[in-house]
Amino acid sequence: MTQQQDSKQDGGTSAPVSRRRFLHVAGAAAGSVAVGTPLRAAAQDATPAISAMAGELASTTLPSSWDQETDVVVVGSGAAAFAAAVTARQAGAEVIMLERAARPGGTTQVSGNEYWIPNNSLMLAAGRPDPREDAIKYMARLAYPQLYDPELPTLGLHERNYDLIATFYDTGSVAVDAFEEWGALYSRVQASFGYSPEGDFADPDYSADLPEDKAPYGRGLQPDPDRGEGGTIPDQMGAWTDQNGVPLLTEHRVVGVFQNGAGEVVGVQVETGDGLAAIRARRAIVFGTGGFTQDAVKSLNYLRGPIFAGCGVPTCTGDFVDIGLALGAQFGNMNQAWWLQGPLELQLQSPSLTGPDIWMPYGDSMVIVNKYGDRVTSEKMPYNERSQTHFYWDPPRREYRNLVQFMIYDEAVAQDPTEFAFRYPVPLPDDSSDLVISGDTWEELAANIDARLDSVRGQGSISARIGPDVRLADDFVDRLGATIERFNSFAETGVDEEFARGSTPIQIAWGGGTERFEQLANPTMAPFQAEGPYHCVLLGGMTLDTKGGPKTDTGARVLHANGQPIPGLYGAGNCVASPAGQAYWSGGGTLGPALAFGYIAGQNAAAETEKVVD
Ligand SMILES: Cc1cc2nc3c(=O)[nH]c(=O)nc-3n(C[C@H](O)[C@H](O)[C@H](O)COP(=O)(O)OP(=O)(O)OC[C@H]3O[C@@H](n4cnc5c(N)ncnc54)[C@H](O)[C@@H]3O)c2cc1C
């Protein structure tokens, strides 16, 4: 197993940080909340108020002197920020990077670091063409399914959204090739996790079954640790910025933006350990400050569903939402996130769960049910699709009936010896986990689940709580019995008549890895054993992070409400309205656009004219 496979399994917390280059290196990002913290306290801990400059997030009163000056200020130090910093520097601009956390790299540093780049050089070299028109259709269909129509101009999408997708197709591969040429990021095809029909080459796209996907293998790339310095994007790009004279100032939180009389952004105000500082940006400012999940108030107000956690780092509280609002920016995609599922009890302990998340529920004799004992979807659908079932609103009952879900498996799964990247949270047979609830019979399992729910009753995190109604229905055991009976019959025939489990390439590649999978009619499904013990893990919905914010144009320029760019202001990555809309195109679907639009932002920022500050 590669380091990145390892890191995806455990959430990447083991990803090394090559730190000599950073000014204030400290331990892991701070900010987790104690076990059993009630919702309100958790929300407060997770939402440090942004301290605006003299009450203003955008000020036209310029400082009498600047503490530092540079051409381009880049805010953040994740993939988007590094892509912008490298590109602007390569174009000849002087650049300073400002990072709020003590530890640089953001969520990117603790991620799997896969980036999805259509039409990339490595897939082309392997003889796998990725035709433009089909790739754009694939992305458009998934990003805006409610609007998509292949017969319409711009495929039925709003023109700007179509243009962003087309720009991503046109620029992603150019950006990655440029980073390679400059020695800033060396890429290789993301290796398969083990059960891909394409062997060692790659895993399939998450929606490889759609007819628009004409190039389902090889779009996912990852940093090549054998050629670059370190195995993550921030490691490799950080080494490059180090060598090329780009200071990265950690514990520097941008709290506001200065504008000159012409409305151009000309500098930032920064909170540092030594007080406030004003840094002038002669040409431009690029924001790459990540999403807003860790601000519970923003998550409650903007996101389309209740969540218990996010796997973004604690400093991703959406500061650019506040600053963008003050600057009069247009907003987009605010209700969307990169959705994920995680162990509920850990979510209740910490709203920032950068490690132990559930990418692909493990096991063949395994189902995920709601409190009524009903399955809610194919358990083997990728996380972004599967996790949205937590938000289903049940009109007659007036409740989120799937808010908490129950991953139930039998002893055959518990005793399966396979060490698979996505085995978590099912422990290996000689291991144990406090997250696993067990019972010798279905009745005993249900009683133990109820007791466990009672033990966390009243607790909450981000925008959801274990309220009085989160408990198993009175007839849970009976209905679960019927569910298991149906599931067993589907497993025998190999056809899941309810949710088509195992019917798409990714479900097999990631969902079939048990010792006996080759003997099964459907490699993702086996009948449950007639006798216990049976096991359960409680699941809650969460995000990888959000993907809404100020809108940008194809040049990564932030747009004012009047439709014009705010002069000198750029954004990329999770802090702006994502070109992906509601989609998760495939593994690497968040970092691919972050790199592409970071590259565009860096290029355009460096080419800006110098702004007047008198
Ligand atoms: C375990 C895990 C695995 C993942 N695997 C993948 C994967 O393989 N592929 C993929 O595409 N995605 C993956 N993701 C998601 C991905 O990590 C994020 O979507 C991505 O890193 C976001 O990048 P970004 O550049 O937008 O922001 P981030 O990497 O989150 O960086 C934002 C930075 O801005 C800083 N910041 C915030 N506010 C301020 C401020 N006011 N001033 C200064 N700095 C500020 C933050 O401290 C942070 O360092 C994964 C996530 C996790 C947690």
Nearest to 406 by CA among 440, 441, 358, 351: 358
Mutate to test the pocket of ligand 1, among 57, 108, 353 (most ligand atoms within 8 A of CB): 108
Mean pLDDT of 221-236: 96
pLDDT tops 90 at residue 158:
yes
User: Ligand 1 centre and the CA of 317: distance in Å?
Assistant: 11
Please report, for residues 29, 202, 243, 421, 425, the alpha-carbon distance to residue 187 in angstroms, rounded to integers and kept in the order given. Answer: 27, 14, 19, 21, 30
Distance CA(351)–CA(292), nearest Å, equals 12
Return the ligand 1 atom nearest residue 587 CA.
9
Return the ligand 1 atom nearest residue 312 CA.
53
Helix (H, G, I), strand (E, B) or coil at 468: coil
**More confident: 354 or 70:** 70
Mutate to test the pocket of ligand 1, among 187, 221, 289, 546 (most ligand atoms within 8 A of CB): 289
- Residue 78 Cβ contacting ligand 1 at under 6 Å: yes
**Backbone dihedral region for residue 534 (phi beyond 0: left; psi -120 to 50: alpha; all else: beta):** beta
pLDDT tops 50 at residue 434:
yes
Return the ligand 1 atom nearest residue 572 CA.
26
Q: Which amino acid residue places its CA nearest to atom 13 of ligand 1? A: 111
pLDDT tops 60 at residue 121:
yes
Helix (H, G, I), strand (E, B) or coil at 60: coil
- Residue 279 Cβ contacting ligand 1 at under 6 Å: no
Q: What percent of the chain has pLDDT over 70?
A: 91
Residue given tokens 């920016």 in the structure block? 329
Distance CA(85)–CA(238), nearest Å, equals 10
- Residue 601 Cβ contacting ligand 1 at under 6 Å: no
pLDDT tops 80 at residue 31:
no
If pLDDT is split at 50, 70 and 90, which confidence band does 193 have? confident
pLDDT tops 70 at residue 55:
no
Distance CA(588)–CA(489), nearest Å, equals 36
Q: Which amino acid residue places its CA nearest to atom 48 of ligand 1? A: 106
Mean pLDDT of 480-498: 98
Return the ligand 1 atom nearest residue 101 CA.
47
All domains of the chain in start order, with CATH: 46-103+229-338+547-606 (3.50.50.60), 115-223 (no CATH), 340-543 (3.90.700.10)
Q: Which amino acid residue places its CA nearest to atom 36 of ligand 1? A: 289
Q: Which amino acid residue places its CA nearest to atom 15 of ligand 1? A: 544
Which residues fall within 8 angstroms of residue 247, CB to CB, at 6 or more apart? 23, 96, 97
Displacement of CA 473 from its chain's centroid (Å): 33
Return the ligand 1 atom nearest residue 222 CA.
8
- Residue 295 Cβ contacting ligand 1 at under 6 Å: no
Distance CA(74)–CA(246), nearest Å, equals 10
Mean pLDDT of 319-329: 97
